[in-house]
Amino acid sequence: MSQNSCSSDFSAAASLSRSITLAFLHATNVKRIVYDEISTLREVNTNNPIASDFDDLRIDSARLMDRIMSLAEVSPIAGGGNCRLALTDEDRDGRDLVVSWMRDLNMDVSIDAVGNIIAYWNVGSGAPVMTGSHIDTVRTGGKFDGNYGVLAGLEVVETCQRNGYIPSRPLAVGIFTDEEGARFAPDMLGSLVYVGGMTTEEALDITAIDGPRLGDELVRIGYAGSAPCPGVVPHSFVELHIEQGPLLEANNVRIGVVTGVQGISWQEVTVVGQSNHAGTTPMSLRHDPTYVAAEIAVFLRQLSARFGGHQVCTVGKVDVFPNLINVVAARVTLTLDVRNTDEKLLQQAEHEISEFLTQIARAEGVQITTKKLARFEPVDFDPRVIDIVESIAKQQGNTTRRMPSGAGHDAQMLARVCPTAMIFVPSVNGISHNPAEHTDTDDLVAGANILLHTMLTLCATDLQ
Ligand code: GLV
Ligand code: MN
Ligand code: MN
């Protein structure tokens, strides 16, 4: 059965034709790497983590942009963005394309039980230095969120290979399943399972917003793999990502040195009222769940204003039943996305929301139930990896700013098992999760060069 989730009602849209058919992609056999085309191979190993014999190495901007634009041609939507909700046909098409590029680079591609794809360039020795991100998108996603980090990782590998640099450790590039959480909650699901934060069985049993079970969708698209989960613990992890916010651009800074990720609390709230006739039911006798949902949205807005700082709250999804003009609704389901860099404040926000739900349910005579969808505490990245990113960014002539991430990222899960940090590049007008998402090529290239040198430096850095 084909599963297209890019039309808003999940039912109609004809599947976009697969741009590439690569039946051999799902084999996980290990290929030995032969670099016939590389005449001189040099071992990259330096005791100085910043200055080294690979200082002049730079990524190929045309090749990076070419891959980004080619992936954006898989499941395009109006306005220049993409719809590749996790484990849909569109996600599979994107995976197939990127895996073909991994295999072109003679990387060993492993796929685990929740569909995480990790490609290894098995050179050097020891645990791999890993990068990666995701290629699933929200329904109205841009071409850079996640994709940029994965494809810049491939560009790091190809740059080394073509220039005859053999890192002293394996390099790994990951595509983590369902980072967005837009189809299966929680977000960062694949990387959470990868680090052992959720069992495979639990993950496979999660149902999509359009009904299917995650495990069934993985099998359907051919990405239920056999690599062990939890996965290989990397030596270190660094993720390159667009900022998705306005701060770098507003401050005329090119590189965000990411110090951590704020805490995330997701819940689904269901309000059940009394469905009735819109013309005959006096206002004083109504138990209207749509009105209550609106009050909840207003409360969240006011709470954010009261808390200030990094507090943000969003009601992003509202489903009204029966959703008709002349019917007081029977039921409304809405999602609450509440985030803060401070765990205590996040808990306080959750507490106040819970009290408000009790109070408004009583006042309006409706029943309110809640379901937790995701809860992640704020994460601090490793100061040593942060320092390396910052030094390299500055050494390459970039302006930098230390900042926490407002968005969730796979790096926040990898940080549970290995030294981790992130690199941000500016988002034009601070826009993301929107087809208009854009980052200038110069910024994308600058970020990828910092990723390259951060990974090579990490290869040569003892982080015990
Ligand atoms: C992921 O993009 C998130 O922060 O919701
Ligand atoms: Mn992302
Ligand atoms: Mn995203």
Residue 196 burial class via C-beta count within 10 angstroms: exposed 0-12, middle 13-18, buried 19 and up: middle
Closest residue by Cα to residue 383 from 342, 413, 420, 352: 420
Ligand 1 nearest-atom number relative to CA 433: 2
Ligand nearest to the CA of 175: 2
Find out whether the peptide bond into 322 is cis, omega within 30 degrees of 0.
yes
C-alpha 463 to ligand 2 mean position (Å): 26
C-alpha 434 to ligand 3 mean position (Å): 10
Q: Is the CB of 190 under 6 A from ligand 1?
A: no
Cα–Cα separations (whole angstroms), residue 113 to 117, 188, 190, 214, 363: 10, 15, 10, 11, 47
Dihedral over Cα of 359, 360, 365, 366: its sign? negative
Ligand 1 nearest-atom number relative to CA 146: 2
- Nearest-CA residue for ligand 1 atom 2 is 180
Ligand nearest to the CA of 188: 1
Closest residue by Cα to residue 444 from 424, 430, 458, 429: 424
What is the three-class DSSP state of 117?
strand
Please name the helix (run of DSSP H) or strand (run of DSSP E) that holds residue 236, with its range, or none: strand 236-242
Distance from CA of residue 273 to its chain's centroid?
36
Which residue among 139, 144, 148, 180 is best mutated to probe the pocket of ligand 1, counting the most ligand atoms within 8 A of its Cβ?
180
Compute the distance between CA of residue 348 and CA of residue 150 in angstroms, rounded to an integer.
Answer: 36
Closest residue by Cα to residue 421 from 457, 444, 449, 389: 389
> According to the model, what pLDDT value does residue 52 have?
57
> CA dihedral in degrees (210, 179, 2, 78; nearest 10)?
90
C-alpha 187 to ligand 1 mean position (Å): 7
Q: Is the CB of 437 under 6 A from ligand 1?
A: no
> According to the model, what pLDDT value does residue 27 have?
25
Closest residue by Cα to residue 43 from 461, 459, 462, 454: 459
295: left (phi over 0), alpha (psi -120 to 50) or beta: alpha
> According to the model, what pLDDT value does residue 1 have?
34
Q: Is the CB of 180 under 6 A from ligand 1?
A: yes
Please name the helix (run of DSSP H) or strand (run of DSSP E) that holds residue 243, with its range, or none: none
> According to the model, what pLDDT value does residue 33 have?
29
- Exposure string (b/e) for 150-175, b if CB count within 10 Å is 16 or more? bbbbbbbbbbbbeeebbbbbbbbbbb
> According to the model, what pLDDT value does residue 54 have?
80
How much is the CA Rg of the chain, to the nearest whole Å? Answer: 23
Residue-by-residue pLDDT tens, the chain, 464 positions: 344 456 543 333 322 222 222 222 222 222 222 233 332 344 444 344 444 568 899 999 999 999 999 999 999 999 999 999 999 999 999 999 999 999 999 999 999 999 999 999 999 999 999 999 999 999 999 999 999 999 999 999 999 999 999 999 999 999 999 999 999 999 999 999 999 999 999 999 999 999 999 999 999 999 999 999 999 999 999 999 999 999 999 999 999 999 999 999 999 999 999 999 999 999 999 999 999 999 999 999 999 999 999 999 999 999 999 999 999 999 999 999 999 999 999 999 999 999 999 999 999 999 999 999 999 999 999 999 999 999 999 999 999 999 999 999 999 999 999 999 999 999 999 999 999 999 999 999 999 999 999 999 999 999 98
> According to the model, what pLDDT value does residue 8 have?
44
